[in-house]
Chain A
Amino acid sequence: SQTIHQWPATLVQPVGSPLSLECTVEGTSNPNLYWYRQAAGRGLQLLFYSVGIGQISSEVPQNLSASRPQDRQFILSSKKLLLSDSGFYLCACHGPIAETQYFGPGTRLLVL
């Protein structure tokens, strides 16, 4: 079965600083990959998804971008963080049964 790694687990960054969050997947090939953001006590907001290397679809206009340089690597970036970028960022992928999404452990980002 697939395993999703995310790092760092926690990050505190000043406003205006850059961001790079990494997600890697093991145990599956050519997965669909997703980035979600979850504000405290709230639901899951889909930010980006990717069906293949170099293919990125954005769900909401925002201060963030995503890239997929390798089949099982998904990166979330920002050039200048805003206070509103604070939240819990989750990477997810589709498992062997294509419909089921599996989530990574998440990265908690606090922008001060």
Chain B
Amino acid sequence: GENVEQHPSTLSVQEGDSAVIKCTYSDSASNYFPWYKQELGKGPQLIIDIRSNVGEKKDQRIAVTLNKTAKHFSLHITETQPEDSAVYFCAAITGGFKTIFGAGTRLFVKA
């Protein structure tokens, strides 16, 4: 069945450094890739998304890249701040209503 692998499971960076989270999907028909940020005790919040007809999308300090050939997509956070500390989930959707989530990455930003 469809699968999304996410790495690393835990990431620790110094404040001001960049953080990169990578995901790989299995269904070549996937065409929409959202990223969610989940703070402790809260529901996941959509932070950025990308469609399969776009290679890169940027929103201030966060960006997402997509390589359809390799079935990889990545989240890049620049100039990290302590408030970026959270769990991040990638996901892939194949034109339907079921979202396949990665297992999550716990990001720690050390002040």
Contacts and interface: CB of A to CB of B under 8 A. Distances in A.
Contacts of B99: 101
B43 A44 contact: no
A44 B89 contact: yes
B104 to A, nearest CB: 5
Interface in A33-50: 41-44, 46, 49
Interface string A85-108: 000001010100011111111101
The 10 closest A-B pairs by CB, nearest first: A103-B43, A43-B103, A99-B32, A32-B97, A44-B101, A106-B43, A103-B44, A99-B93, A43-B104, A105-B43
Interface residues of B, number: 22
Contacts, number: 47
30 contacts: A42-B104, A43-B101, A46-B98, A49-B97, A49-B98, A51-B97, A90-B43, A92-B43, A98-B97, A99-B32, A99-B34, A99-B93, A99-B95, A100-B32, A100-B34, A100-B46, A100-B49, A101-B34, A101-B46, A101-B91, A101-B99, A102-B46, A103-B36, A103-B43, A104-B43, A105-B42, A105-B43, A106-B42, A106-B43, A108-B41
Contacts of A102: 46
A104 B42 CA distance: 8
Interface in B80-111: 89, 91, 93, 95, 97-99, 101-104, 106
Contacts of B104: 42-44
Given A32-B97, A101-B34, A43 B43 contact: no
B45 interface: yes
Contacts of B43: 4, 90, 92, 103-106
